[in-house]
Amino acid sequence: MSDLVYPPVIALARTMFRLLDLRITIEGAEHIPATGGAVLASNHVSYLDFIFCGLAARPSRRLVRFMAKQEIFAHRIGGPLMRGMHHIPVDREAGLSSYRAALAALTAGEVVGVFPEATISQSFTVKEHKSGASRMAASAGVPLVPMAVWGTQRLWTKGRPRTLTRRHTPISIVVGEPLRPARRDNQTEVGAELHNRMSALLDRAQRDYPDSPAGPDDRWWLPAHLGGTAPAPSELAGEEEGA
């Protein structure tokens, strides 16, 4: 697969990160295989998560093909970039074609990135999700790698103004040990285990995060169970579809 667009986009992003002096830490990158297909499954707290999740694959010299909603591909600027990087559009009205495209990429040895929650979690916890990621990995016979990102919500998340010029923001990326689901496995149970592992990774990233709110008005980016003012998951039931 020809990649004329992806490397320059990565180079531009890394330049911006340096200019902003973002304090990016990546743990567990060795869990992303250097060869062959794999599914990366991450939590979702920001519109920028796919950029930072992709950084975790750089030590393995992999380019991640992310599954993203069709609307992004229709954007006059974002669309050509997404297609040039060979990301995979997800049409919620025709989900089977997206699933087949992802399987084709996996069987061709690509790394496919997914956000099993489908939408941004405004509670900044891991929302319940379906077993699509585990089914995909099982069908393609590839590892399912859980991961978590934290701090990206401070740059751009749903319901908050963009602060893309914010300097010195810590960004934490934590990759966990792969699951290896098989077709014979109960994929609902595998999906539950994936959720548990993603939650544990997120808890770890939040616990070890090197920054704290600057004051009472800055607690919006922390989940309620950590003393933040983000809404609790129970307050958001049924309200986050389409984010």
User: Alpha-carbon distance 99 to 67, whole Å?
Assistant: 9
pLDDT digits (tens, 9 = 90+) for 24-60: 999 999 999 999 999 999 999 999 999 999 999 999 9
CB 173 within 8 A of CB 52: yes
List, in order of start, the domains of the chain with CATH numbers: 24-236 (3.40.1130)
- pLDDT value of position 2: 83
pLDDT digits (tens, 9 = 90+) for 111-153: 999 999 999 999 999 999 988 999 999 999 999 999 999 999 9
Contact partners, residue 67, CB within 8 Å, separation at least 6: 87, 88, 89, 90, 98, 102, 112, 113, 114, 115
DSSP 231: P
